[in-house]
């Protein structure tokens, strides 16, 4: 008997999801247990330790891991599947091609071992610093992105925990002590912070183009600067409507607001409240990451490779990873602002409520399992959004440069303004 | 002045929806997503992948594949070629070198004492096979020309070319028309 395709896919995805939830639950329980058994370290070390652990897990574990894996799975394997090819499968461990994973390691080794070429008369300092200037902003922005709500130090007894967290649905309030474990730092103007960091990235590109002492690079750098600055306008304006509705710049509060359900079943995520804004934000964000169909700064056909024409070895690798990290960051922002962040519909701190919030949960879950599920949901949303960007990248042919500018200034900007105006009217009337 | 036949083509105006690209992008996305999910399906026969894993799965050559040359032999094992020079004359790459010699058997007259094909110059056009009047040279061995690391090894001489040789069905010599089995 043959298992139907949809069933097999569902089983595989379900197995991955359950495995991840289980692993995270186990980790959270283990940490909680260790906290009760071991003596707490003295104060400055405890805080520093938590921050270092958060940075390590979120930025280097999740973001860099996903971004560098995307160099293989996103651009080479996924594109191959779309185009009915197999993609790289010749690098092997013990005769196993492991869906191309060894290629990823082989590429890294190759990049590190290659000769580092700096062109004559290039500004050595800036030429070397530019890749870092590109990668760092793509990573720093994660400081403000919350992966989960504050962790509530509830008593382990389920009934008491329920009393401690349930307070007033749908906005969960923790009556005991809370810790900010899943966001690197709490910025109450997180959105402004993220935007400030994103717009710094353009310096890296412009400097890379300028410092290479190459006309192609210079043109690429100028294009990158022009394109990123143009699209930043619509990127910001498309979110103004969201700001009016949520009335906050704090990512955490934005996500908390998205827990509400309309008519008891429709989660009021940003994408439901502001569909046009989502579309504009995603489009402008894709242009901001400078990947196809907006990869004009690279422009293979006319500019060789644009601003990174003169880069080799791991410098080139870092520029590539910076691009992918920006893609992941856009995925993260979109997940937080438009897709309800860590929220899973109907899931509250003590389980699933399918039939309204009154009474007992339909499916009771321990708090740690809920936290694990929410973390996995957040990561899952980011992965799906990154996947969608790659899908679009392999679907659309690239724009001509004047079309990119036309789209930015003549289509996205007026649309964002119109969206803002209509939202303002609706918000002020109701 | 004759009349010029002008065919006017109807240019369809793009509708607003098409101009806005959004439905078209969604359609395109639908196609790529369909391909993506079909091709990662766990069932081989649902995939649309067309890639051959070449060295692991050898491809089958068609019957007309032009492989390495071979020189056919007579019933008694001698070379069938009569050194008529047709092939070397026609060869566009000028890569067949033949030195004819007189044969002891008066009914055969000539045979190639030296018959060398320079595989580095051969373009595998198959014209030598077409030119041969007595079915003495063929390219139907279905084998690759082997790789050589030394240029001198690229000159395939008569004996090497005869190693692959077989007997032809065609009868040689005389003036009678051979009875072809088909
Ligand atoms: S295949 Fe063509 S090029 Fe090669 S020997 Fe025959 S005639 Fe010459
Ligand atoms: S191989 Fe055929 S064409 Fe060439 S010299 Fe011999 S008999 Fe003539």
CB-based contact A224:A406 (threshold 8 Å): no
Mutate to test the interface with A, among B16, B22, B36, B42 (most CBs of A within 10 A): B36
Half-sphere exposure of A307 (CA within 13 A, CB side): 30
A322: CB partners within 8 A, 6+ apart: A131, A134, A135, A138, A201, A204
In a domain, B150, yes or no: yes
Percent of the residues in chain A that have a pLDDT greater than 70, as a whole number: 91
CB contact under 8 A, B32 and A82: yes
In chain A, what percentage of residues exceed pLDDT 90? 0
Residue A22 burial (CB count, 10 A): 13
Distance of alpha carbon A226 from the chain centroid? 24
The model's pLDDT over A76-112, given as tens digits with 9 standing for 90+, comes to 888 888 888 887 877 777 766 667 778 888 888 888 8
Segments forming the whole domain that contains residue B122: 70-164
Could you tell me if B90 and B19 lie in one domain? no
pLDDT at B99: 92
Residue B74 and residue B159 in one domain: yes
Name the residue of chain B whose CA is nearest to A84's CA: B49
Residue A369 has pLDDT above 60, yes or no: yes
Q: Are residues B110 and B157 in the same domain?
A: yes
Go through chain B and tell me how many residues it has: 182
- Give this complex's ipTM: 0.74
Cβ separation of B36 and A78 shorter than 8 Å? yes
Whether pLDDT at A400 is above 90: no
- What pLDDT score does A4 carry? 58
A84 vs B37, B46, B50: nearest CB: B50
Residue B4 pLDDT > 60 = yes
B19 touches A: beta carbon within 8 Å: no
Q: At residue A174, does pLDDT exceed 80?
A: no
> Ligand 1, atom 3: nearest CA belongs to which residue?
B122
CB nearest B49 (choices: A84, A391, A395): A84
Tell whether B40 is covered by a domain.
yes
- B149/B75 same-domain check: yes
CATH of the domain at B95: 3.30.70.3270
Q: Are residues B78 and B137 in the same domain?
A: yes
Residue B149: inside a domain, yes or no? yes
pLDDT recorded at residue B90:
92
B47 and B78 in a single domain? The answer is no
Instruction: Specify whether B94 is located in the same domain as B156.
Output: yes
Instruction: Calculate Rg over the CA atoms of chain A.
Output: 23
Answer yes or no: is pLDDT of B165 > 70: yes
Beta-bridge partners for A262: A266
Distance CA B60, CA A376 (A): 48
Please check whether residue B58 lies inside any domain of the structure: no
For residues B19 and B105, membership in a common domain is answered with no
Q: How many domains does chain B have?
A: 2
Using H for helix, E for strand and C for coil, what is the string for chain B? CCCCCCCCCCCCCCCHHHHCCHHHHHHHHHHHHHHHHHHCCCCHHHCCCCCCCCCCCCCCCCCCCCCCCEECECCCCCECCCCCCHHHHHCCCCCEEEEEEECCCCCCCEEEEEEEEECCCCCCCCHHHHHCCCCCEECCCCCCCCCCCCHHHHEECHHHHHHCCCECCCCCCCCCCCCCCC
Give the angle subtended at the CA of B170 by the CAs of B165 and B174, to the nearest 5°.
Answer: 120
User: Which of A44-53, A216-225, A226-235, A374-383 is the least confident region?
Assistant: A44-53
B80 within a domain of the structure (yes/no): yes
Partners of A14 on chain B (C-beta within 8 Å) are none
| B74 in the same domain as B146 | yes
Q: Do A82 and B36 touch (CB under 8 A)?
A: yes
Question: Containing H/E element for A317?
Answer: helix A313-338
Does residue B74 sit in the same domain as residue B150? yes
Question: In this predicted structure, which of A210-219, A258-267, A333-342, B63-72 has the lowest mean pLDDT?
Answer: A258-267
Check A84 against B39: CB less than 8 A apart: yes
CA-based nearest distance B55→chain A, Å: 11
When scoring A3, A4, A5, A280 by the number of chain B Cβ atoms within 10 A, the one with the most, hence best to mutate, is: A5
Q: What is the pLDDT of residues A213-272, one digit of tens each?
A: 888 888 888 888 888 888 888 888 888 888 888 888 888 888 888 877 777 777 888 888
Specify whether B79 is located in the same domain as B155: yes
Mean pLDDT of A120-141: 86
Order the strands of the B155-156 sheet from edge to edge. B96-102, B110-118, B155-156
Pocket of ligand 1 (CB under 6 A): B 91-93, 95-96, 117, 122-128
**B56: in domain:** no
Query: Is B64 within a domain?
Result: no
Q: Does residue B46 carry a pLDDT above 80?
A: no
pLDDT of residue B173: 62
pLDDT of residue B89: 92
Same domain? B87 vs B135: yes
Query: Contact at 8 Å (CB) between B91 and B77?
Result: no
Contact B28 A78 (CB under 8 A): no
Mean pLDDT of A402-423: 86
Range A339-368 average pLDDT: 76
């Amino acid at each position: 008997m043959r298992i139907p395709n949809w069933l097999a896919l569902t089983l595989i995805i379900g197995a991955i999801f359950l495995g991840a939830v289980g692993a995270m639950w186990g980790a959270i329980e283990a940490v909680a247990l260790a906290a009760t058994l071991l003596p707490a370290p003295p104060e400055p070390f405890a805080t520093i330790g938590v921050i270092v652990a958060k940075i390590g897990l979120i930025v280097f574990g999740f973001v860099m891991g996903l971004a560098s894996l995307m160099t293989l799975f996103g651009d080479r394997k996924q594109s191959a599947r779309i185009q009915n090819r197999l993609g790289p499968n010749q690098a092997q461990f013990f005769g196993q091609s492991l869906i191309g994973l060894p290629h990823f390691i082989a590429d890294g080794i190759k990049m590190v071992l290659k000769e580092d070429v700096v062109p004559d008369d290039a500004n050595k300092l800036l030429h070397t610093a530019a890749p870092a200037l590109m990668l760092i902003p793509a990573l720093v922005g994660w400081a403000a992105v919350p992966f989960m709500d504050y962790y509530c130090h509830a008593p382990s007894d389920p009934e008491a925990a329920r009393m401690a967290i349930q307070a007033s649905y749908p906005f969960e309030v923790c009556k005991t002590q809370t810790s900010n474990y899943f966001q690197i730092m709490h910025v109450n103007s997180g959105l402004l912070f993220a935007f400030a960091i994103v717009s710094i990235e353009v310096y890296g590109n412009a400097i890379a183009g300028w410092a290479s002492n190459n006309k192609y690079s210079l043109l690429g750098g100028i294009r990158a600067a022009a394109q990123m600055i143009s699209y930043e306008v619509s990127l910001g304006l498309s979110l103004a409507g969201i700001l009016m509705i949520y009335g906050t710049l704090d990512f955490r509060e934005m996500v908390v607001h998205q827990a509400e359900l309309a008519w008891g079943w429709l989660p009021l995520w940003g994408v439901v409240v502001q569909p046009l804004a989502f579309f504009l934000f995603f489009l402008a964000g894709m242009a901001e990451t400078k990947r196809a169909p907006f990869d004009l700064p690279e422009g293979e056909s006319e500019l060789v490779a644009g601003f990174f024409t003169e880069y080799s070895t791991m410098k080139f690798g870092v520029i590539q990873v910076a691009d992918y990290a920006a893609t992941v960051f856009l995925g993260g922002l979109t997940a937080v602002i438009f897709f309800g962040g860590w929220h899973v519909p109907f899931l509250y701190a003590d389980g699933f409520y399918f039939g309204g919030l009154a009474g007992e949960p339909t499916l009771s879950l321990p708090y740690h399992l809920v936290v694990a599920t929410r973390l996995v949901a957040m990561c899952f949303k980011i992965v799906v959004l990154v996947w969608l960007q790659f899908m679009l990248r392999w679907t659309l042919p690239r724009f001509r440069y004047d079309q990119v500018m036309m789209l930015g200034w003549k289509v996205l900007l007026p649309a964002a303004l119109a969206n803002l105006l209509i939202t303002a009217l609706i918000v002020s009337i109701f | 002045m004759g009349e010029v036949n002008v065919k006017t083509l109807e240019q369809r105006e793009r509708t607003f929806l098409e101009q806005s690209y959004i439905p078209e992008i969604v359609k395109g996305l639908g196609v790529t997503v369909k391909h993506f999910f079909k091709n990662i399906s766990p069932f081989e026969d649902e995939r649309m992948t067309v890639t051959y894993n070449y060295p692991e799965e050898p491809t089958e050559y068609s019957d007309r594949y032009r492989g390495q040359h071979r020189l056919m032999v007579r019933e008694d094992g001698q070379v069938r070629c009569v050194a008529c020079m047709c092939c070397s004359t026609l060869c566009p790459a000028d890569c067949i070198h033949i030195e004819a010699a007189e044969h002891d058997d008066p009914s055969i007259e000539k045979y190639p004492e030296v018959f060398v094909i320079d595989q580095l110059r051969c373009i595998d056009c198959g014209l030598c096979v077409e030119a041969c009047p007595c079915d003495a040279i063929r390219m139907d061995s279905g084998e690759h020309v082997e790789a050589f690391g030394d240029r001198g090894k690229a000159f395939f001489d008569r004996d090497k070319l005869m190693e692959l040789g077989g007997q032809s069905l065609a009868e040689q010599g005389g003036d009678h028309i051979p009875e072809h089995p088909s």
